[in-house]
Amino acid sequence: MKKRIFTFLASALVLTLAVVSCSEEEATTVTLNKDLTASLTCYVEAQLIEDTTAVVYENAPAGTKVFIRVNNSEYNAGASGVTVYETEVGPQGMFMYDIPVTENGTNVTIQFDDFVYDQLQYDWDSDINDWVTDGTETKKYSAASLNLMLYAGETQYEKVQYFDTSF
């Protein structure tokens, strides 16, 4: 009896670990071939300083989340569900990710988390004939999703710009 309970608990633990470590939003019952990859390097920018003379983009904040979504049917026509890979923008305003793809190409959607940032404001001071800081304005930054076709063995480079809105 103790042996049966132990076997049951061990099996339940293995099953639980398998489900928890799965990176798929919706599971599928068919085999997905994810042996081939394509490399994506993406530079992520935002206008974090407002100086009114020109639009200048800085690196988006490190740690901003990025989600790479692939329909499982891209890997196997009979598969259902979606696989989501998560990464984040690094300190240099970019991320790199090796995405599993097929020989015939794979459609992927890259989504970017919104973030809130205190945009530095500059104003012209005619008394000293120079630009001076005028405090900050809290803004929400959003970026549009990217829809890409990636092929095995390729390296693709993209640039994404966040746009700000006032509260």
Chain segment 39-70, per-residue pLDDT in tens: 999 999 999 988 777 778 999 999 999 999 99
CATH number corresponding to 25-166: 2.60.40.10
Please give the pLDDT value at position 89. 98
Say if CB 24 and CB 31 are below 8 A apart.
no
Quote the CA–CA distance of 128 and 27 in Å, as a whole number: 64
- Name the average pLDDT for the chain: 84
Question: For residue 4, what pLDDT band results from cuts at 50, 70 and 90?
Answer: very low
Q: Answer for the pair 35, 75: CB distance below 8 angstroms, yes or no.
A: no
| For the chain, domain boundaries | 25-166
d(CA 68, CA 145): 10
